[in-house]
Amino acid sequence: MTIIDTERHPLADQVAGRVLRPADDGFADAARPWNVAVEHHPDLLLEAAGPDDVVAGVRWAAEQGLPVAVQSTGHGATESVSGGLLISTLPMNTVELDVANRTARVGAGTRWGELLARSVPEGLIGLCGSSSDVGVVGYCLGGGLPILGRAFGFAAEHVRSIDVVTPDGRLRTVDGEHDPDLFEVLKGGKGNFGVVTSIELELLPVSDFYGGGIIYPGEDAAEVLTAFRAWAADLPDDACPSIAFLRLPDADFAPPPLRGRFVVHLRFALVGGTEEGDRLLAPMRAVSTPIMDTAGPLSYLQVDLVSLDPPDPTPFEQAGALLKEFGEEAQAALLEVAGPGVQSPLLLIELRLMGGALGRPSPVRDAVSGRDAAWCVSALGVPVPPIAELVPPAIEQVLDALRPWATGHTMVNFHGRPGDATDRARAWPPEAYEAIRRAKRRYDPDNLMRFGHAVLLPGGEPVEPAIPL
Ligand SMILES: Cc1cc2nc3c(=O)[nH]c(=O)nc-3n(C[C@H](O)[C@H](O)[C@H](O)COP(=O)(O)OP(=O)(O)OC[C@H]3O[C@@H](n4cnc5c(N)ncnc54)[C@H](O)[C@@H]3O)c2cc1C
């Protein structure tokens, strides 16, 4: 019988946004994540026009006993949403800028680029990561490792308050004084506790920004890595580098000198001017024979030029690790599995230098991972034929090779596909994981938010009795 599908859905009478069933026009486009390797198949999709829609959607799903998933851009889609209600927050892309107080309240569908377009002309920046296309809220809920992290710490440390619809259908404003236990775990605990409708962020007065990259031939990877390790050890906290192995396909989107080639990409971002940037980069400019050198003074609106992440939706599989150190032996281990001469199917292996402000305790408690790490590693491939089957084992091979130097934990934003309970626990330091599990039992005893990096397994009953609210 198709009669149900032609009727208006009951939820549609309660919301301003579109309610779409799988057979409806526009459903596939609305459900599609930026990571097009993942396909979502919810029973129903709500394009939330505002917080009231989110409240109605969460209450309706809870009444039906359906799980709830959230998506804004889909940059963090690690696994398929199957069944339940998918709430798309993309229409909620509001930015309320308060220049005098250096803050912004952004709606749950706002991309970093939309916030920066408003704040940078006022001399203010937000602590975005490597791509301004990523959503502000999803990124901050995962802790947020900024391009300028060594200078200013994790983005989560700069979140002042969060509006969230908890699984009981209540819209709460949480901060250091209101539901502080929930405020703590929302910053790093990802989508475990409800649907965030907006967050208030502290902005920073940064006018001098220097950034870009140097690209070296892959054949010189050992020489470049050796020089990079020594150079990175002496950098001031305001300097934020990473080093990446890049294997771009022979395709139009890649710059001609890089097509079909293995290259090493030094990425560099600095809170500082041209003179300091050029002085700091000079030793790395003298290494090997760079193929490209794009580093120089930039507007912060050009922050994407540091890492050169793909601007368009891309299929990817990714996993990460945090390292205590990356010395000579770790370098040799990495080169053995991904260096010149190896036919690696991975598009990218990146090592970001941690430390500086990223290594200091947060002024306000949160559930962010990575403060004890010296490096954050991310390995990523494009799982399409003919290499689709080769990508997951190649990622595992890289992480295995670096395991002797790993902290044993990851950052949830770079964790990749969540596995079993033990694997999920790796995304947080033990104390934060316990706080997240405590708050999960309190705020989501029925495990309504069970997709993605949920600390209770999908479809599973709560592992321990719920604590009464
Ligand atoms: C090209 C690229 C570059 C990146 N660079 C960085 C970087 O430099 N630093 C860094 O830390 N991370 C980085 N990431 C990871 C990124 O921050 C995470 O994937 C983040 O979750 C993306 O958020 P989103 O809202 O854009 O994605 P989505 O896929 O829409 O959301 C991802 C998850 O976040 C949660 N979520 C999103 N919105 C809400 C909400 N309103 N309420 C509750 N939960 C919500 C949900 O669990 C959801 O499944 C990068 C990812 C990509 C693909």
Kindly report the CATH number assigned to the domain that includes residue 257.
3.40.462.20
Choosing from 182, 413, 443 the residue with most ligand 1 atoms within 8 A of its CB, the one to mutate for a pocket test is 413
Query: Where would I find the beta strands (DSSP E) of 94-225?
Result: 95-98, 103-107, 159-165, 171-174, 195-202, 209-217
What's the pLDDT tens digit per position in 155-202?
999 999 999 999 999 999 999 999 999 999 999 999 999 999 999 999
Q: What is the DSSP letter of 322?
A: E
Cβ neighbours for 285, distance < 8 A, ≥ 6 positions apart: 214, 293
Would you give the end-to-end CA distance of the chain in angstroms? 42
- Return d(Cα 185, Cα 440) in angstroms, integer: 9
CA distance 418 to 426: 10
User: 139 CA to middle of ligand 1, Å?
Assistant: 4
427 in any annotated domain: no
Q: Are residues 322 and 389 in the same domain?
A: yes
Within a domain: 453 = no
For residue 273, report the distance from its CA to the centre of ligand 1, in Å: 30
Q: Ligand 1 pocket: which of 58, 75, 197, 455 to mutate (most atoms <8 Å of CB)?
A: 75
> What is the residue with the minimal CA distance to atom 34 of ligand 1?
138
**Residue 413 C-alpha to ligand 1 middle, in angstroms?**
7
Q: Report the pocket of ligand 1 as residue ranges, CB < 6 Å.
A: 33, 70-77, 89, 108, 129-131, 134-135, 137-139, 141-142, 144-145, 190-191, 195-196, 309, 413, 452
Residues 322 and 226 in one domain: yes
- pLDDT at position 6, please? 59
Q: Distance from the CA of 126 to the center of ligand 1, in angstroms?
A: 16
Q: How many domains does the chain have?
A: 3
Same structural domain for residues 235 and 118?
A: no
Question: DSSP secondary-structure letter at 262?
Answer: E
From the list 210, 157, 142, the residue with the least C-alpha distance to 358 is 157
Q: Point out the ligand 1 atom lying closest to the alpha carbon of residue 74.
A: 29
> 184 - beta bridge partners?
none
- Are 302 and 378 in the same domain? yes
Range of the domain at 23: 3-88
Q: Whose CA is nearest to atom 26 of ligand 1?
A: 135
Are residues 77 and 140 both part of a single domain?
no
* C-alpha 167 to ligand 1 mean position (Å): 20
Looking at the fold, whether 278 and 350 belong to one and the same domain comes out as yes
Nearest to 458 by CA among 83, 50, 75, 30: 83
Is the pTM value of this prediction over 0.85?
A: yes
Ligand 1 centroid, distance to 412 Cα (angstroms): 9
Residues ≥6 apart with Cβ < 8 Å to 326: 229, 351, 374, 375, 402, 405
Beta bridge partners of 375: 323, 353
254 and 377 in a single domain? The answer is yes
* Residue 221: CB atoms within 10 Å: 24
The whole-number pLDDT of residue 461 equals 43
Mutate which of 132, 141, 318 for ligand 1? The one with the most ligand atoms within 8 Å of its CB, which is 141
Q: Are residues 330 and 233 in the same domain?
A: yes
Q: Check residue 421 and give its pLDDT.
A: 85
Pocket test residue of 38, 70, 186, 450 for ligand 1, highest count of atoms within 8 A of CB: 70
Say if residue 267 is in the same domain as residue 129.
Answer: no
Is 13 domain-assigned?
yes
Helices and strands (H and E) in the chain: how many = 13, 17
Do 171 and 213 fall into the same domain?
no
Question: For residue 423, is it within any domain?
Answer: no
Ligand 1 center–CA 414 separation, angstroms: 9
Cα separation, 193 vs 341, whole angstroms = 46
Kindly list the averaged pLDDT for each block of 10 residues, start to end, along the chain of length 469.
Answer: 64 98 97 98 98 98 96 97 97 98 98 98 98 98 98 98 98 97 98 98 96 98 98 98 95 85 98 98 98 97 96 96 98 98 96 98 96 98 95 98 98 95 92 94 93 72 36
Distance 77 CA to ligand 1 centre (A): 8
Q: What pLDDT score does 254 carry?
A: 81
The CATH code of the domain that includes 145 is: 3.30.465.10
The pLDDT value recorded for residue 439 is 95
